[in-house]
Amino acid sequence: MSVPSPAFPPERDADVLVVGAGPAGLHAAFYAAWRGLSVTLLDARHEPGGQLTALYPDRRVYDVPGLPAAPAADVIAGLVRQLDGLNVQWHLHTLARTLEPDGEGWRVGATTPDGPRTFRAGAVILAAGLGALLPREARVPGADTHPDVRTDVPDAAELAGRHVLVVGGVPQATRAALELAQAGAQVTLTHRRAGFRGSPADLGALEDAGRSGQLKLLAPATLTTLTPTSASLTVDGQPHDVKADTVLILNGYLPDLTPVQGWPLDWQGEYVPDGVGSRTALPGVFVAGDLAASGQDFKLISVGLAQAAVAANHAAHHVRPDLRVRPGHSSEKRLS
């Protein structure tokens, strides 16, 4: 669908680069791609969804238009599904750090699992929300001597056959434990409090798996120390050791805005001022979602989605001046 732009050099990675795959970034990516542009979408996390999948995947959201009482994860699944068939390249585990002019476009420097990488685009939409949602650090005695302590959700198949200790009460810990057990890992799930969090379906599956012995549940329990192959816990005041080839510490995510706060966008604290068309102080750089100053106290999904539509359509016109800003009605168009 992408048509080469007369205004920007062909060696760029995409017409539009979106930083952040939360609801605002996903919808911005949709709209820019829907207008026929190529889009690169970056997120520091291993999955899209921003705050919804990182901080409250197990809760229902009541105020997204047209999706009454939708689980947060379903809101994101719909936004992701809307990108099907569109020219959007995903780069997860990718943290945007620098922004530099690149002719009439922009160069964004990022760290990726394969090392540093530069992305070139005609326009940038910054939808970084509260900041990069990075896993909380693991603070367990012995963690530095254990060969395989992780703080992010792994590919379950990679750990099949291993003894895996999953530590944490967040929904991601419950889900990871279930997926790892299904993939053939010997899983122990532990948390310092009595209960685990998760969707009703995941909590039901966890109870079944615990009862059938498919995985072991230890809660409330305190993880006291790690050795290179095992973990020592205290359960009901008694010492309890489990084998642990891999230790997965899932304590949730903390937002970090600092990677983009050096970008010269006239920051107002944690906000980027946005003018007409969601423009920032830099030509060709747009902002949407929680980060945009115009939203003020309305840090809401619905507000971010609207800002994303405005930003993406102005970005489309910026990159391809032959495209009108106004997109027209999607109901009058077909993708193919």
Residues within the interface to ligand FAD (CB under 6 A): 19-25, 42-45, 50-52, 55-56, 61, 63, 95-96, 127-133, 259-260, 289-290, 299-302, 304
Name the maximum alpha-carbon separation found in the chain. 72
Place of tokens 């800002």: 307
Residue set of the binding site: 43, 51, 56, 96, 133, 290, 331
CA distance 301 to 294: 14
For the bound state, the minimum distance from the C-beta of residue 106 to ligand FAD, rounded and expressed in Å, comes to 14
Alpha-carbon span 44 to 110, nearest angstrom: 9
* Closest separation in Å from C-beta 97 to ligand FAD: 7
Nearer to ligand FAD, 73 or 218 (CB): 73
- Rounded to a whole number of angstroms, the minimum distance from the CB of residue 201 to ligand FAD is 20
Task: List the 238-243 sheet strands across, edge first.
Answer: 221-226, 230-235, 238-243
Give the residue among 28, 42, 40 at the shortest CA–CA distance from 2: 40
Task: List the Cα angle 117/123/129 in 5-degree steps.
Answer: 75
Binding residues for FAD: 43, 51, 56, 96, 133, 290, 331
Residue 202 or 290 with smaller CB distance to ligand FAD: 290
Say how far apart CA 245 and CA 147 lie, in whole Å: 8
Minimum gap (Å) between residue 103 Cβ and ligand FAD = 23
Q: Which is nearer to ligand FAD, 271 or 327 (CB)?
A: 271
Least gap, CB of 289 to ligand FAD (angstroms): 2
Which secondary-structure segment (H or E) carries 108?
strand 105-112
Nearer CB in complex with ligand FAD: 127/312: 127
76/187 with CB nearer ligand FAD? 76
